[in-house]
Amino acid sequence: MPQVVPPVGPYTGDFNARISKINVATGARTTVVDHLPSSQTSAALGSLVSGVADVAFIGDTLYAVLAGAGCSHGLAGTANIVFRVNSNGSITPIADLSAFYKNHRVAHPEPDDFEPDGTWYSML
C-alpha cells in the first residue's frame, strides 16, 4: 500500500503508543499495554501523532482502536484495528479496520487527503 502524499505524508512510524491507567487516589500512572503502533505526519503538517485513538469498556473488558498503524502510516505489517486488552497485557484483534477500509473504498478518493488505512478516531 502506498504512503500518504505530501504535505500530510510521508508518515514515520514506531511502536510507542500505550494505554495507561491512573489510580484516582494516588495519581500514579500504570501501563496497561504498550509497544502499540504509532505514527507521525510529516513536519510540514506540524507532526501530528496517532496511536491509540479511543478506549471503551464492555463490562470489565477494555477495548481500544488504533489510528496510527498500517503501511500508509509508515508501519508495514500492521493494521488499524479494534482490539481487546487481555488481563496479561496482551491484545486480541477484534476487527481489522485497515482491511475494511481498503475493501470498501469510495469511488473517487481525494488524492491529497486519502488515508489508505483510514484514520480512526473514536468508538461508540
**The whole model's pTM is what?**
0.90
Angle at alpha carbon of residue 74, lines to 77 and 10, rounded to 5°: 155
Q: Is pLDDT above 80 for 113? A: no
121 within a domain of the structure (yes/no): no
Among 114, 56, 106, 116, smallest CA distance to 82 is for 56
53 within a domain of the structure (yes/no): yes
Identity at 105, one-letter amino acid code: R
Domains: count for the chain = 1
CA distances, 114 to each of 3, 8, 71, 119 (Å): 10, 10, 13, 10
Q: What is the mean pLDDT of residues 89-117?
A: 89
2 within a domain of the structure (yes/no): no
- Domain of 77 in residue numbering reads as 12-113
